[in-house]
Structure 1
């Protein structure tokens, strides 16, 4: 028959059961921790790029491509239709005012100049001849005038005599009438001669004015051709550097063709291009940042070209430091056009993470682990991203690409 267990035996059995349960629970905890450790992803510290959350402004910008160009560039055009006879200076050479760059053949212009000079001399001779002819005509008319005046006096005397004879009965009324008619005819002829003299003088005055206009026009044309022949010795008007020159000796250029470009390399501006979708955001006077070799130069939009070419808008930026030591012709630059600005906000350096981030979240580094945290991503530019909440100043945020860990709550850093 069964015997009742002693109290010591019961106590020993209870202790053994507790021990077994404790061992089981410990094994279970170790198994769970080990399994979770196996499920927690890891990332190499070499692949992590981080940045510290700070407070500061975030300026919203548009990114454009830019090129440094001289602020002032003189375009030299051909003053005449000519052939390039000699190239004195080449592109890249510095010039001072008065230095000759090109020499154009002036033979064609010289012929036109000589022709105009001959025509001017002919017209001057014509002017002298006109005065001589007028003098001759006026002398003839003056002689006729004197004769007519004498004739009128003679007829006046005859008329007086006829009237006296008629009074004493020595002639007839018909003789008196004939004497009066002869006097009137002579007086009319005298008046006509006076009118002819006045007309000749007026004609000479008009001809001289016309000839004077012709001579003045020819003088201006001669001066212009003379100036063009002087300009055929193409010279620099101010100090600078030749950026381009037409160096094809023997080639023909027409009047107005560009034959050289001269730049003043003491000051620069930036020629920038951007897609036409942003054209309405380009305003003259708008602030810009020009970045060259990690150096930022402040500037403003000075002008925007009105035309669009192949979907591209061109605009120009005036720099505050237009003579900065980094500036060189044709140097590439990044141009950031300011469209908006936020003042003292939480921000972090921009990085690849914010290009691939899904949802409003960031990854914060604590000790040797990375934790996913909800955060609102605000405005950004190429340098900074605004974080509206979810972080505080001093937090270390991952800015490298985390596309493979978007759904992980915690990541271990190796």
Structure 2
């Protein structure tokens, strides 16, 4: 037979159970809080870079690579096909206008020149002979014409005499007809001689004109070769510095091959390259900033090369300060092609945090933690990024690459 448990004992057992349950809940809560504390990511401030949001202008730009080149550079080409006999100046030498740079072996060109002169003399002799023969033929025809002209006059007088005799009864009709026939034949022969003289003179003019063309062509060839020979002692066309010279002594160069370059190093321009995907944004006259070490120089696009090589397009920049002291020939520089200008916007220094996306996860510092916010980005360049959205002037963000923390809502920042 079961015995009834006293009510006081039952109440005591219930209280004990509730205490046990409460203790378990407290232990679980403490464990969750401790586990959460363990899960929170802590990053030392010394491992991060920070920047403060400020108000200012942002110039959006495309980044290109560039090299400083002389604004004026003269390429001196070989006037003739020849061998390089001697090099008189090397790159880096300062030269004056008209100063010889190198010597070419002119022997083959001189031989060709002498041959042309001989051919010209021979042609002139043959021309004189031809002219003499043509004149001789014309003179012979003129002599025959003069004789025939006298004969016609004589036959005309004979005809007049026969007609007079016939009128007084001392002549016959047959004699008159014969005199008329002789005069007619002689007149036709005179006309024929006149045409022959005209034809001979026309042929002489045509022949001499053709010979004149040949002589003129020869004179031009001789004059050109003579000028080339005079230029074979390759000289500087302007005062400047030798930037390159063909130093292959004994090597053969063809007419038109470059032999040397002379540059004026008192003024410079920029030769820049960029991917052809940005070709449509390159406009002649467009503003450009060139960074030479830590110095920014303003300029504009002077020209864009139409040819694309290996996906790269080349353009030239005209500088406002083309003789700036920081400029050196062949110096590598950064080139920024400005595409937009945004004044008085919230901006922050560019850094590894910026991925180029129009929406960006940014960690904003709040005391001893950094809270993730999703912001929009606007114009950007190598120096600054425009920020839009839940951000204010004076707030501090993490500039370092935070890609590995982008899944977290916040970061704990420790002092060390």
Which band: TM-score by shorter chain? Answer: 0.7 to 0.9
Q: Which residue of 1 aligns with 2:361?
A: 360
Q: Which residue of 1 aligns with 2:320?
A: 320
Aligned partners of 1:365 and 1:412: how far apart in 2?
Answer: 13
Q: In the alignment, is residue 411 of structure 1 matched against residue 410 of structure 2?
A: no
After superposition, give the CA deviation of every residue in 1:137-181 in whole Å (9 maximum; x if it has no partner): 344333323322332232223223333333444443222221221
Q: Which residue of 1 aligns with 2:288?
A: 288
Aligned partners of 1:142 and 1:270: how far apart in 2?
Answer: 77
Q: Which residue of 2 aligns with 1:149?
A: 149
Q: In the alignment, is residue 371 of structure 1 matched against residue 373 of structure 2?
A: no
Aligned partners of 2:242 and 2:190: how far apart in 1?
Answer: 78
Q: Which residue of 1 aligns with 2:54?
A: 54
1:268 is paired with a residue of what secondary structure? Answer: strand
* Per-residue deviation, 1:226: 0.8
Q: Which residue of 1 aligns with 2:177?
A: 177
- With over 3 angstroms needed to count, the CA separation of the structure-2 counterparts of 1:398 and 1:204, relative to structure 1, is same
Task: Give the TM-score normalised by the residue count of structure 2.
Answer: 0.82
* Per-residue deviation, 1:382: 1.8
2:354 is paired with a residue of what secondary structure? Answer: helix
Q: Which residue of 1 aligns with 2:105?
A: 105
After superposition, give the CA deviation of every residue in 1:10-66 in whole Å (9 maximum; x if it has no partner): xxxxxxxxxxxxxxxxxx9xx89x958877655444323222221101222222222
* Per-residue deviation, 1:313: 2.1
Give 1:24-103 correspondences, 5 Å limit: 42-103=42-103
Aligned partners of 1:329 and 1:45: how far apart in 2?
Answer: 43
* Per-residue deviation, 1:204: 2.6
* Per-residue deviation, 1:261: 2.1
Q: Which moved more, 1:119-128 or 1:89-98?
A: 119-128
Q: Which residue of 2 aligns with 1:250?
A: 250
How many residue pairs were aligned?
384
After superposition, give the CA deviation of every residue in 1:315-372 in whole Å (9 maximum; x if it has no partner): 2222222211121222111122222232101111122233499953323264xx2432
- With over 3 angstroms needed to count, the CA separation of the structure-2 counterparts of 1:147 and 1:281, relative to structure 1, is closer
Aligned partners of 1:85 and 1:161: how far apart in 2?
Answer: 91
- With over 3 angstroms needed to count, the CA separation of the structure-2 counterparts of 1:52 and 1:142, relative to structure 1, is same
Give 1:379-390 correspondences, 5 Å limit: 379=378, 380-390=380-390
Contact conserved, 1:269 with 1:319, CA < 8 A, in 2?
A: yes
Q: Which residue of 2 aligns with 1:12?
A: none
1:109 is paired with a residue of what secondary structure? Answer: helix
- With over 3 angstroms needed to count, the CA separation of the structure-2 counterparts of 1:171 and 1:37, relative to structure 1, is closer
For structure 1, list consecutive stretches of 5 or more residues without a partner in the other structure: 1-27
Q: Which residue of 1 aligns with 2:298?
A: 298
Contact conserved, 1:40 with 1:411, CA < 8 A, in 2?
A: no
Aligned partners of 2:361 and 2:303: how far apart in 1?
Answer: 39
1:353 is paired with a residue of what secondary structure? Answer: coil
Q: Over the residues paired in the alignment, what is the CA RMSD in angstroms? A: 2.9
Aligned partners of 1:327 and 1:256: how far apart in 2?
Answer: 32
Give 1:168-247 correspondences, 5 Å limit: 168-247=168-247
After superposition, give the CA deviation of every residue in 1:270-311 in whole Å (9 maximum; x if it has no partner): 222222332232222222221121221122222222232222
For structure 2, list consecutive stretches of 5 or more residues without a partner in the other structure: 1-26
Contact conserved, 2:68 with 2:269, CA < 8 A, in 1?
A: yes
Aligned partners of 2:224 and 2:134: how far apart in 1?
Answer: 34
* Per-residue deviation, 1:257: 1.6
Q: Which moved more, 1:350-359 or 1:399-408?
A: 350-359
Aligned partners of 2:288 and 2:164: how far apart in 1?
Answer: 114
Q: Which residue of 1 aligns with 2:158?
A: 158
Aligned partners of 1:391 and 1:141: how far apart in 2?
Answer: 111
* Per-residue deviation, 1:377: 4.0
Contact conserved, 1:377 with 1:385, CA < 8 A, in 2?
A: no
Aligned partners of 1:135 and 1:350: how far apart in 2?
Answer: 93
